[in-house]
Amino acid sequence: MKKAGLFSLVALFACISAANAELPTTGKLGLGYADTISGLNGLTIGYGVAKNMRLEGMIGMSFDSPKDNDGMGHNIGFGLGFFFDAMRSNEAAFTVGARLDVGMTKPHKEKGGQDPDGATELDIDIPVRIYYFPTKNVSFHLETGIGIHMIPKEGEALGHTSKGEGNYFSIFDIGTGFGMTYWL
């Protein structure tokens, strides 16, 4: 985790040094992977809308079929958000954004039991990201920020650590998310 903190400081100082530079994402499509505040992780599709803004869509899935059960369980999550560059340089950006995440789960059926109910979870994230561009086509990012998690009575669907029904807040949880993107 010390390396992540050092990476963040270097990227932040790089942003401050050239605050009006243009990142290489404007008008480009990006494909990548991300892990988010809400626990959603998966494939991302990003697009550089303007000099200082990127849109990002996300999908993540998991399936399980334990040997002692009759059916397969699955989780699927979707996210849609945008990121605004608060500070940027040619190599780095400090961004603030907003994202809506929806997760749906259908647990596997116990052997000889009934089909269990699934759950749908809604999360609202206010992510803060630090991007680093080692080349014009590759970016890495670290993410933290504020997450509002609305977990239904049927249970969580986006990969939190065993939280029961209710509303939860995560505020600048250290080491929350990491990702990378290849910009076409």
**CATH class for domain 2-183?**
mainly beta
The dihedrals phi and psi of 105, each to the nearest 5 degrees, come to -135, 145
Q: What is the pTM of this model?
A: 0.76
The two structure tokens encoding residue 81? 């958000």
The whole-number average pLDDT for the span 159-182 is 76
How far is 63 from 86, CA to CA, in rounded Å? 38
The whole-number average pLDDT for the span 8-36 is 68
What is the pLDDT, as a whole number, of residue 115?
54
Of 24, 56, 58, which Cα lies nearest the Cα of 39? 58
- Residue 177: strand pairing partners: 143
Specify the higher pLDDT residue, 173 or 128.
128
Give 1's pLDDT tier (boundaries 50, 70, 90).
Answer: very low
Q: pLDDT by residue (tens digit) across 28-64? A: 999 999 988 888 889 999 998 988 899 999 998 876 6
How far is 31 from 110, CA to CA, in rounded Å? 38
Q: pLDDT by residue (tens digit) across 113-134? A: 555 677 788 889 999 999 899 9
Residue with tokens 């990548």: 32
How far is 139 from 6, CA to CA, in rounded Å? 17
How far is 164 from 154, CA to CA, in rounded Å? 9
For the chain, the straight-line distance linking the first and the last C-alpha, in angstroms and rounded, comes to 30
